[in-house]
Structure 1
């Protein structure tokens, strides 16, 4: 595949295309979310209980509910004490590791969307293609790299969002074109300079729609949470084209 600058895609087309892929794969969106949250929460409750964080958090919450609004000061102090403890660091490390482990699950949607384009039969096993062979190590390594850079940039206000836009297309570039992380960053930077408005708007829409299910629909979050992948694929497919 190759870049197809300088042509400009229509923003409305990119958005409609993303919702098309999402709507065509609602069953797989639900499977993804069930697997993702089941594994994540299982690990969370285990490590939080293992290091005593769960009991401390529960105790703080009970005290706050009993005290009411006037207990907000004690709640903040308690949370600060917990977050600065060594056991909290171990718990955070456990959640980081499970997040890295689960990241390749996202790559399965690129396989599914590509099969839809080719009118091929989609299978549940496609959702787990990110765990095949060396794929798992490539994509978890990328997640670790992405996470630590994001952590360094979070002290600023603007740079974390720029980092998200810059890296938005790296995963499909790695998946379809077998690019390295830094080759993906180079291609992502070229795309961002040419399609800044499109990538900016699509990032905002993807983030809002991804998490709106938690706020409004609750159970609907099982369907909206993976929407990010449909937007990424729609952008990638519009900005990059296959070589003939």
Structure 2
């Protein structure tokens, strides 16, 4: 796979292309959200009950009525228990398992570029063959680093910026995880403003539907994938024969 790299795409071009991808796939956006949140909420609810997390709900509510400090003490005590640790692992496992759904949208957007027919089965392209194991491995690594960086405020955002191209590079170009980190860092250095602004817009718009339109969030939540693919296809140029 030959790369003409790096390129300097226009910010307005990337944003318009992302919204174009998103506007052409409303039905699939809804299906993505139904599958994603349906499975995620069911898994979290099951394990919260299984590990007795709900049993502490009243205790936490009572502590919050006393003071936020009392609530923090109770919440910290709960988070240090063995059952909560197991629940945290189940929470991460659910996120990791569902994450290959994102790669399905990258295949859908590529098919739109090639003017090929798009179907519901494309949404599950990340679960087929070796793609599943490669993507699961990456997302497990990605979430573990993200949670490690969480207390440092700015580090999680830097981690997102560096890894924004990792999944399409793994999915389309069969790159190894650490290769994608190197390519992502180079892309970030050469296109910082474009990547920073696009990631910020994606983060805001993806969650805006829940804050403003509630149910509309089911349509806006997957917008993140449209922005990533728009950035990827604009910055990383592949030979035409490799796309077909």
TM-score band, normalised by shorter chain? over 0.9
Q: Determine whether 1:116 maps to 2:112.
A: yes
- Report the CA distance shift for 1:197/1:41 in structure 2 as closer, same or farther (over 3 A): same
Q: Which residue of 1 aligns with 2:39?
A: 39
Query: What is the correspondence of 1:107-186 to structure 2 with a 5 Å cutoff?
Result: 107-186=103-182
Q: If the length of structure 1 is used for normalisation, what is the TM-score?
A: 0.92
Query: What is the correspondence of 1:49-68 to structure 2 with a 5 Å cutoff?
Result: 49-61=49-61, 63=62, 67=65
Structure 1: which 4+ aligned runs deviate by more than 6 Å? none
CA distance in 2, matches of 1:198, 1:167: 15
CA distance in 1, matches of 2:239, 2:87: 46
Q: Determine whether 1:89 maps to 2:116.
A: no
Cα deviation for residue 142 of structure 1 reads 0.1
Q: Please report the RMSD computed on the Cα atoms of aligned residues, expressed in angstroms.
A: 1.7
Q: Which residue of 1 aligns with 2:219?
A: 223
SS in 2 for 1:101: helix
Q: Is the 8 A contact 1:5 1:194 kept in 2?
A: no
- Report the CA distance shift for 1:174/1:10 in structure 2 as closer, same or farther (over 3 A): same
CA distance in 1, matches of 2:76, 2:69: 11
Q: Indicate which of 187, 199, 219 corresponds to 1:191.
A: 187
CA distance in 2, matches of 1:217, 1:88: 33
- Report the CA distance shift for 1:88/1:143 in structure 2 as closer, same or farther (over 3 A): same
Q: If the length of structure 2 is used for normalisation, what is the TM-score?
A: 0.92
CA distance in 2, matches of 1:92, 1:58: 20
Structure 1 gap ranges (5+): none
- Report the CA distance shift for 1:3/1:158 in structure 2 as closer, same or farther (over 3 A): farther
Q: Deviations over 1:103-137 (max 9, x none)?
A: 11111001100111111111100000100011111
Structure 2 gap ranges (5+): none
Matched residue count? 240
